[in-house]
Copies of this chain bind each other. A is one copy, B any other.
Amino acid sequence: MATIRDIAKLAGVSVTTVSRVLNNHPYVSDKKKEAVLKVIEEINYKRNIHAVHLSKGFSNLIGVVLPKIDHPYFSSIVEGISEEAIKHHLQLVLFQTNYEPAKELEALELLRGTLLDGVIFCSRAISFDVLKEYKNAGPIVLCEDSDQSHFPSLSIPHEQAFQFGLDYLISKGHTKIAFTLGRMEGPNSKKRRKAYKTKMKELGEPIRSEWIFDKCLSITDGKQLMEKLQHLEKKPTAFFVTNDQVAAGILLSAEQYKIKIPQDIAILSFDNQPIADIMGITTIEIPIRKMGKLAVQSIIHCKEKREQTNKKMTLPFRLIERKTV
């Protein structure tokens, strides 16, 4: 492989001049610049990026940590991240973790090893205490509704949004409300549970643990939910679900159980993905792509200012009324 030294020799200049040309620095005479460019073209030179990284001390690579890329919520975030990253000439390194802490740590270790200029956690399983150990490893941003003040975070206000949704269901006459969560112990789920508890207390309704369904993320989970519903002694009149996928699963299997929506059961979900539009699902929109973009901007901000921010960024949500409530 040819190096800048080879180029320098062939073009009759110094390596510095070659480097300057390569990096579009000023103070290079047109003549020499041309000579260098010519040689580069001739021998089809490409610079060794590892050497650039080592020398500069950074890489333009950022890590994206998520449990599963094959889910609309996460692939939407990544799409947002990707769009913004391209603008800033950043490359994305994907960490599909299945919520295994070891995999999440891998990303953090690479951050510390300076392979990554920053890490975006779309969701996480590792504890806060572990995360804090990497506080100084580089920029980290969390896409979750977080109360901590160590890392920047990015989310809709889940508690408020969930309360808002409950109020909407209540305004439609529902008091018997069941709900689903993606991951019971996830930060966002905790907020949702809290909102539920508060609101049920207000209503004077009991908290029925059998009306809280964990690990509901996919369209398949929604379908299975309908089966579980059959075995419920006391049935709710409304379902407030994790996301549009779950809602879609419910809708698609409602017919076989002779359940009419919204007459028998109302469905309210989160996200507002295309499927919600097509199936007429009433949902609370989350600006998922926007979250991705802001996450990248946050990383860049930390990188440029060389400072660790811990800004909590709250994004707006809004109700999209359609036909399931």
A249-B220 in contact (CB<8A) = no
Task: State the CA gap A110–B109 with chains docked (Å).
Answer: 23
Contact with B along A47-82 (1 / 0, CB 8 A): 111110110010101001000111110011011001
A49-B94 in contact (CB<8A) = no
What residues of B have a CB within 8 angstroms of the CB of A95 in the complex? 91
What residues of B have a CB within 8 angstroms of the CB of A59 in the complex? 50
Task: State the CA gap A249–B253 with chains docked (Å).
Answer: 16
What residues of B have a CB within 8 angstroms of the CB of A39 in the complex? none
B78-A114 in contact (CB<8A) = no
Answer whether A93 and B96 are a contact pair too, CB < 8 Å, given A48-B54, A112-B46. no
Interface assignment of A275: CB less than 8 Å from any CB of chain B? yes
A46-B113 in contact (CB<8A) = yes
Chain A, interface size category, equals 35 or more
**Which residues between 96 and 116 of chain A lie within 8 Å of chain B, taking CB atoms?**
96, 103, 109-110, 112-115
Task: State the CA gap A70–B47 with chains docked (Å).
Answer: 33
B49-A69 in contact (CB<8A) = no
**Which residues between 207 and 230 of chain A lie within 8 Å of chain B, taking CB atoms?**
218-220, 223
B75-A223 in contact (CB<8A) = no
Task: State the CA gap A110–B71 with chains docked (Å).
Answer: 28
| Complex A-B: 26 CB contacts under 8 Å | A46-B109, A46-B113, A47-B113, A49-B113, A49-B114, A50-B50, A50-B54, A50-B114, A51-B54, A61-B93, A64-B94, A70-B75, A71-B75, A78-B96, A82-B94, A82-B96, A83-B96, A86-B96, A86-B103, A91-B93, A91-B110, A93-B93, A219-B274, A219-B278, A220-B277, A252-B278
